[in-house]
Amino acid sequence: MAFPDLNSLEKESYHLHNSDGAVELVMGVGFVWISLMLYGGGGAPIGIVPVFMILLMRAFKKHITNPRIGYVNWGEKRKDRISRGKSSLVAIIVVLLTFFIILYVFLRKNEGLVQLINPFIPYIFALVLGSVFCIVAYIRTLPHLYFFGFVAFLLVIFKSSLHLNLQSITLILGIPLAAWGSVKLMMFLKKNPMLEKNEKES
Amino acid sequence: MLGKTENNPEKPDELDKLIHEPTRLKLIAQLYVLESADFVFLQNRLLLTQGNLSSHMNKLEEAGYVLVEKTFVKKKPRTLFSLTTKGRTAFENYRDNIHKMLDADP
């Protein structure tokens, strides 16, 4: 018997837990929802979407993933990686909020400065959107999300030349993500039938 | 090299028979890389039957290698398994010994 490679063993376990398509599905639904809110206009409360996404993710893991493949507390290395990713995500959100508060409070009356900053705003958005994808990819070890991050970055940068707006960009990102997640979920459900009922507490 | 004793700290160069059994080796290796895991996860990962997993876990628990924690999450039972310090040390010794054994010149 080959001696088990401990790193691969840990990675395989983590991949198994992320093979349910939850991340892609929840992100996809979130982006489509944001897009619909933006199309609706009128100061839609977009801030509730991430909260909804977190709740949906937890419910998904609790009712779909854990009963099928079991519950795990990850080791120290994995926990460190997850907490580093989460801290970066929080830092990005804080920096972004601070930036827009400063922009709104101090610069709204200064037309000259606003015009100076305006051309850079798409780049900031592109960086933020791309980074969010990359951080989720890093936390969950899902390499294809780096690609989505790169596409999101390019779409925002070239939105004028592609005749796109924020609504269409979020829709363009959301639909394939949700579709990807749905396919992964169907494969996961087929491969992992419910096991919990068989467990008669040994 | 395979001693008669299953866990003999006085003979550190011997392979621990309790860990040497392939299924238990996989179980211990799996638990070594995690903090804890429940019954369903281990059953799923190692493709074992309930009876088989229970019997291996009982042996590991009796040896003091595995800690079994039975909890209830919203009225549903959850059995969590984790390696004890003794279990971790035993697995590390086993790894060292098997490496020494395989690296030794014939």
Per DSSP (E only), the strands in A7-137 are 72-74
| H or E element that contains A150 | helix A144-157
Chain A nearest C-alpha distance from B51 (Å): 8
- In the predicted model, is pLDDT for residue B29 greater than 70? yes
Say yes or no for a CB contact (<8 Å) between A75 and B80: no
CATH code of B17-103, in short, is: 1.10.10.10
User: If contacts are CB pairs under 8 Å, which of residues 52-111 in chain A contact chain B?
Assistant: 66-76, 79
Average pLDDT, chain A: 85
Over range A43-49, report the average pLDDT: 75
Over range A101-130, report the average pLDDT: 79
Chain A nearest C-alpha distance from B10 (Å): 25
Over range A135-142, report the average pLDDT: 91
Over range A113-139, report the average pLDDT: 85
Which residues, in sequence order, are bridge partners of residue A74?
Answer: B34
Per DSSP (E only), the strands in A52-195 are 72-74
ipTM for the whole complex: 0.79
Nearest CA in chain B to A78: B34
User: Cα–Cα distances in Å, from A151 out to A42, A49, A108, A133, B88?
Assistant: 28, 21, 31, 10, 45
Question: Using a CB-CB distance cutoff of 8 angstroms, which residues of chain B are in contact with residue A70?
Answer: 37-45
> For the segment A164-173, what is each residue's pLDDT rounded down to a tens digit?
888 899 999 9
Domain boundaries, chain A: 14-194
Give the A:B interface size as CB pairs under 8 Å. Answer: 87
**Mutation test of the interface with chain B: which of A72, A78, A83, choosing the one with the most B Cβ atoms within 10 A?**
A72
**Unique residue bearing structure tokens 């101090």:** A106
Say yes or no for a CB contact (<8 Å) between B38 and A70: yes
Compare A201 and A91 and report the one with higher pLDDT: A91
- In the predicted model, is pLDDT for residue A60 greater than 90? yes
User: Cα–Cα distances in Å, from A157 out to A5, A86, A167, A171, A193?
Assistant: 43, 26, 14, 16, 44
Say yes or no for a CB contact (<8 Å) between B40 and A199: yes
Say yes or no for a CB contact (<8 Å) between B40 and A1: no
Domain boundaries, chain B: 17-103
Over range A19-27, report the average pLDDT: 94
- In the predicted model, is pLDDT for residue B5 greater than 70? no
Chain B nearest C-alpha distance from A170 (Å): 36
Provide, rounded to the nearest whole percent, the portion of chain A with pLDDT above 70. 92
Question: Using a CB-CB distance cutoff of 8 angstroms, which residues of chain A are in contact with residue B54?
Answer: 202
Q: Grade residue B4 by pLDDT with cuts at 50, 70 and 90.
A: very low
Average pLDDT, chain B: 84
Question: Using a CB-CB distance cutoff of 8 angstroms, which residues of chain A are in contact with residue B34?
Answer: 10, 13, 72-75
Over range A21-40, report the average pLDDT: 91
Question: Using a CB-CB distance cutoff of 8 angstroms, which residues of chain B are in contact with residue A195?
Answer: 40, 43-44
- In the predicted model, is pLDDT for residue A81 greater than 60? yes
Here the tokens at position A37 are: 């809110």
- pTM of the entire predicted model: 0.80
